[in-house]
Chain A
């Protein structure tokens, strides 16, 4: 199956982490070379990588640091892993870093008694990612495609790290013609730069719309369902995703259009009310590539995410937790 470069945007080769710089796409395809956990966190905070790329960055950074460490004792190596975990946990508020780092430390605990702690840990993460997670994402995309029928028109928001084109691929295999509308997703343009570009590159029919056109599309019957990703889930099925997802969910309910979410279930938080929302800098709205878009004296308000309550979700398409 054709896989977008955005599906697996971070790779570890030797002692270097190669992170696809998503802020430059589609103008340039550039990878950032990262040599240590501080550089990895910088890439995350600057949003050079996001969503699934963030998840991979965390996982691979543990492997990277353990691979290149000169620390010889298991105790010291474990302390290093804990230090990395703490650093990621305090990097950005909304994405569930603590859940991912806990998972990594959990793997480390599992192989701690081994005489080849370092090698066994590295092998375990590799298997977890390359065989486990990769397959689970394929399965999830296939499940999503099964929910669609021939002639469906999917509205999506932000970007789901290569899974939307995979859904399109599965639809083709299932002999279903499906079209897409992508919202541009201001202020970072994940919709126009990543989603629309990725879908078009895959040969799928995609139309880009402004974020303000969602009600009109639904009201005119131009879309038949919504599929979005999620950055973080709560135990009750509430989830947080890129800002703008909540209003799309509400409109979908109003216009009686199915609303699906590609989710990663979690028990860490009870409900969406517990998910912290990152507020980012005004300038990310007021400027673009250094150019000022607004008059001096204007300010902005930039909540990066919003929460969708589970009652607005027609069906969660979950990555298999096992």
Chain B
């Protein structure tokens, strides 16, 4: 499909509360490799809300912004301010039901996210690729808005050597799939999430 007007770009997996804030009828949705949450988590919710998802690959963000097709960029962070931040512990929300909230130590969060160092004070933790989106947006003078992400889920299990469960290439190839990266707050126009930062250890 040829796109001629400016529409927003969603990079990441929004919490369900995000979708009702969208006024536009069409939005770019980054597909999010390797698990393709853009296609199979974000797009269905948009369709339910009568918004047309325009899927793009994660490498198309720059082109779309340079061509003047992007009005704003939405990125998402899974971390939310806790009422009480227990020393060494990070509360993360459970996935929607009545199960008690899962609580992870920083060590566990590091292994879940692939981080080998604590998140710094002036940045937020977002889905890998969000930094690309934010830096490109800065270059092209497009505002970046931060919202709450759907909590960490099965992304970790997806293999880069496959797509839709079909093999893409030989299994002996080494892969590196970092799930999260830090995005400096200075790149964010408006922060709709009261995030908290992990203090440097």
User: What distance in Å separates the Cβ of A225 from its nearest Cβ neighbour in chain B?
Assistant: 18
Do the beta carbons of B63 and A243 come within 8 Å of each other? yes
Q: Which candidate, B13-21, B83-91, B171-179, is the interface stretch facing chain A?
A: B171-179
Inside 8 A of A8's CB, which chain B residues have their CB? Answer: none
Given contacts A210-B58, A254-B135, contact A293 B164 (CB under 8 A): yes
Do the beta carbons of B62 and A306 come within 8 Å of each other? yes
Inside 8 A of A300's CB, which chain B residues have their CB? Answer: 1, 54-56
Do the beta carbons of A183 and B176 come within 8 Å of each other? no
Judged by DSSP, the binding face of A is mixed
| Chain B minimum-CB-distance residue to A201 | B170
Judged by DSSP, the binding face of B is mixed
A219 interface residue (CB < 8 Å to B): yes
| Chain B minimum-CB-distance residue to A192 | B169
Given contacts A288-B163, A295-B39, A301-B60, contact A207 B55 (CB under 8 A): no
| Chain B minimum-CB-distance residue to A282 | B1
Cα distance A189–B166 in the bound complex, in angstroms: 13
Do the beta carbons of A251 and B40 come within 8 Å of each other? no
Inside 8 A of A251's CB, which chain B residues have their CB? Answer: 132, 135
A297 interface residue (CB < 8 Å to B): yes
Complex interface bits, B157-201 against A, C-beta within 8 A gives 1, otherwise 0: 000110110111110111111100110000000000000000000
Instruction: Assign chain B's interface to a size class.
Output: 35 or more
Cα distance A316–B17 in the bound complex, in angstroms: 48
Do the beta carbons of B62 and A184 come within 8 Å of each other? no
Given contacts A184-B33, A196-B173, A254-B135, contact A212 B60 (CB under 8 A): no
Cα distance A187–B38 in the bound complex, in angstroms: 14
| Chain B minimum-CB-distance residue to A281 | B1
Do the beta carbons of A306 and B32 come within 8 Å of each other? no
Shortest 6 CB-CB distances between A and B: which pairs? A244-B59, A212-B129, A247-B62, A211-B59, A212-B58, A186-B57
A: residues with CB less than 8 A from B are 26-27, 157, 181, 183-187, 189, 192-193, 196-197, 200, 206-216, 219, 243-244, 246-247, 250-251, 254, 277, 279, 282, 285-286, 288-289, 291, 293-295, 297-303, 306
A-B contact pairs, 29 of them (CB 8 A): A189-B168, A197-B173, A208-B174, A208-B176, A210-B34, A210-B58, A210-B129, A210-B177, A211-B58, A211-B59, A212-B129, A216-B178, A219-B181, A243-B63, A244-B59, A246-B62, A246-B63, A247-B132, A250-B135, A250-B139, A291-B166, A295-B40, A295-B43, A298-B53, A299-B53, A300-B1, A300-B54, A301-B1, A301-B2
Beyond the given A208-B176, A282-B1, please list 18 additional residue pairs across the A-B interface where CB-CB is below 8 A.
Answer: A184-B33, A200-B170, A200-B173, A210-B58, A211-B58, A213-B128, A215-B131, A215-B181, A216-B178, A219-B182, A244-B59, A279-B2, A288-B164, A293-B163, A294-B55, A298-B54, A298-B55, A306-B66
